[in-house]
């Protein structure tokens, strides 16, 4: 079974600065998707960014980008120009036949 590991339970960053959230995973599959989801206090799951495993180019969505290292099975999320609204839980997720989540990282953006 696939496992997803997020080793940072909590992180904080000053507004306007950059922060990187770590994620590693374990799988024997070659084709899969990786995701970062944001979960604010409302508990709604909001898709931040996704990466297809067969693509070498790192995905980018505005202030959010990933560093996908397939050989190392690493998938970190970089948030640039952090905003107060970025404060939330962030979950890394692996999808093949189903979607599995890491334990999450609670990010706090400080004014």
- Residue ranges binding other proteins (CB under 8 A): 33, 35, 42-45, 47, 50, 52, 91, 95, 97-104
Closest C-alpha among 50, 62, 41, 61 to residue 99: 50
Which residues, 6+ apart, have CB-to-CB distance to 99 below 8 Å?
35, 93
Nearer to other proteins, 6 or 82 (CB): 6
16/47 with CB nearer other proteins: 47
Least spacing, CB of residue 69 vs other proteins, in Å: 21
CB of 32 to other proteins, least distance (A): 9
Pairing mode, strands 99-101 and 105-110: unpaired
Pick 52 or 81: Cβ nearer other proteins: 52
The H-or-E segment that residue 77 falls in is strand 74-79
């Amino acid at each position: 079974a696939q496992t997803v590991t997020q080793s940072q339970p909590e992180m904080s960053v000053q507004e306007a600065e950059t922060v990187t959230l770590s994620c590693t995973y374990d799988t024997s599959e070659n084709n899969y998707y990786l995701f970062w989801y944001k979960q604010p206090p409302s508990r709604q799951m909001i898709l931040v960014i996704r990466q297809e495993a067969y693509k070498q180019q790192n995905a980018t969505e505005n202030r959010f980008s990933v560093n996908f290292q397939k050989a190392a099975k690493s998938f970190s999320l970089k948030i640039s120009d952090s905003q107060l609204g970025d404060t939330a839980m962030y979950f890394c997720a692996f999808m093949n036949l189903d979607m599995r989540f890491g334990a999450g990282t609670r990010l706090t953006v400080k004014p």
